[in-house]
Amino acid sequence: VTGAITGAITGAGLDKDVMLLTDGRFSGGTKGFCVGHVAPEAAHGGRIALVRDGDPIVLDMDSRELDLNVDAQELARRRQKWKAPHPLLRGVLAKYARLVGSAAEGAVCG
């Protein structure tokens, strides 16, 4: 999925102006300014779950930190409204979700 997104960004000529930020992985064909494996993931209630279109995000490469530049009260309102996604109960993705840990801990199967 991230390949399609980076392709759309590049196709629109925005690959030098837009940063793609995701808690997912990249396929290897990624082009442009992309940050992946953000943790904790949105599904676990990480701050990435609270991001809305137009929110300013500051990336400090030296300190390796991302900051969602949104007022603390607004983030608190968003946090109150946030709901965890329903767990997958069947299929390959359900098995994966049961067996593989967070990307923050290496996405280790066990």
pLDDT tens over the chain, length 110 residues: 556 788 888 889 988 888 888 877 777 677 777 887 777 778 888 888 999 999 998 888 899 888 889 999 999 999 999 998 888 899 998 998 889 887 777 778 87
pLDDT at 67: 86
- The CATH classification number of 2-85 equals 3.50.30.80
Q: Tell me the catalytic residues.
A: 27
Contact 32, 10 (CB under 8 A): yes
The residue count of the chain comes to 110
pLDDT at 1: 55
pLDDT at 45: 84
- The structure tokens listed for 65 are 């930190």
